[in-house]
Amino acid sequence: MTRYGMAIDQSRCIGCHACAMACKIANNMPADVVYNRVITVGSDYIDCASGTYENPSLEYLPMQCQHCEEPACLQVCPTGATQKDPDTGIVTVDEELCIGCESCIKACPYEGVRTLLPSEPTYYLDMEVGEADAPKHAGGTVEKCTFCANLVARGETPACMVLCPGRARWWGDLDDPESEVSKAIAGREYTLLNEEAGTKPNVYYLH
């Protein structure tokens, strides 16, 4: 039994979007659909500081599905499309079963980590990019970060984890104290987003 999770060291994140782009390409994402993005806290525009010039604040928040221990999306799914893999802890949406009802979007305490594809999506290129077994992107379904379950199944790491330029991202089994992610978290202060929602997220934001 494995409990996959991530640690993201915000003090090392330089807001470069490499994680988001690695995800975008690896998963052959359609136009204007992302699983993973880097938010500039307090602005709709990247790299715009908040506050005043005398006392500015600039913080980056890489954001995707938190693959919670007790996912709110799981209980509300009427078709069983949302599933949590008991062997890995990865939360996925089966596009064959999803009816696009958006219950999961409403139940999830995290904004913007899921996308409803109202119809068949469009792509920038007339060819498939990324991994050969990238997820399908079916119209009428909701999709989100899969923790790159296809890669994890063959022993690789999720695309966003392959090489963070700031060396800020750590991946592995949270239940294994020897895993990279557990070692990265050990002794560090961290935040779990929207912890009060009680879903027990598996993405740790290190300070």
Partner 1 sequence: MTEFENPRSFSRRSFVTGAAALTGAGLLAACSPQSQPEQGAEGEEGLAGTGGNEEIYAGACDGNCAGGCYLNIHVRDGKIVRTSARELPDPAYTRICSKGLSQVGRVYSSNRLLYPMKRVGERGSNDFERISWDEALDFIATKWKEITDQYGPGAMAIFNNSGHYSLCSGSCGTSISVTGRFKNVVGASEISSSLDIGCSHGFSHLTGGIPTYNEITDRKNANVSILWGNNPAISNPHTAHFHKEAQEDGNRLIVIDPIYNANAAMADWWVPVKAGTDGALAAGILNIYFTRGLLDEGFLKSTTNCPYLIKEDGMFVRMSDLGVEPTVEPDPLTGEDVPVDPIVVWDAAQNAPVAITEATDPLLESVPEVNGMKVQTVLENAKAAVAEYTPERAAEISGLKVEDVEELARIYVEDGPVSTEFFLGVNHYLNAPYTSWLIGLVAMLTGNTGKSGASFGNNQIYIPQYTHTNFAVTMPTDKAGNPCQGGDPHTYATAFLEELIDTGKYGQEDCVLKGVWFTFNNAAATMADSEYTKRWVSKLDLVICSDVMMTDTCRLADIILPASYWFEHTDVGSYLFATHPYITWNEKAIDPLGESKSDFDIFKAVAERMGYGEFFDLTEEEYCAEALDSEGYKALGISLEALKEKGALRVFPEDVHISDTSVWGTENGRLCLYQENVLYQFGDLGQPVDRKKECGLYWEEGKYCGEHSEARMGEYPFHLLSQKMRTHTHTQWSENEYTREIEPEPLAMLNPDDAAELGIQDGDTIRLRNYQGTVVVKAAINAGVPPKTVAMPRSWQAADFIEGTYQSLISKDFNDTSNNQAYNDVACAVEKM
Using CB under 8 A as the criterion, which residues of the chain lie in contact with partner 1 when the complex forms?
11-12, 14-18, 20-22, 24-26, 28, 31-32, 34, 43-53, 56-60, 120-134, 136-138, 150, 154-156, 162-163, 165-167
Q: Are strands 56-57 and 91-93 parallel, antiparallel or unpaired?
A: unpaired
* CB 52 to partner 1: min, Å: 6
* CB 9 to partner 1: min, Å: 9
**CA pair distance 144, 129, nearest whole angstrom:** 18
* CB 133 to partner 1: min, Å: 5
174, HSE (Cβ side, Cα atoms, 13 Å):
18
Identify which of residues 21 and 107 has a Cβ nearer to partner 1 in the complex. Answer: 21
CB 6 within 8 Å of CB 161 = yes
Identify which of residues 103 and 157 has a Cβ nearer to partner 1 in the complex. Answer: 157
Identify which of residues 6 and 20 has a Cβ nearer to partner 1 in the complex. Answer: 20
Q: Which residue, among 179, 126, 136, has the nearest Cα to 6 in the 3D structure?
A: 179
Hey, how many other C-beta atoms are within 10 angstroms of the C-beta on 200?
13
* CB 40 to partner 1: min, Å: 10
Identify which of residues 14 and 195 has a Cβ nearer to partner 1 in the complex. Answer: 14
Determine which helix (DSSP H) or strand (DSSP E) holds 70, and give its type and residue range.
Answer: none
Q: Which residue is listed with tokens 């929602």?
A: 197
CB 108 within 8 Å of CB 87 = no
Lookup: tokens for 162? 């392959």
Identify which of residues 126 and 196 has a Cβ nearer to partner 1 in the complex. Answer: 126
* CB 107 to partner 1: min, Å: 27
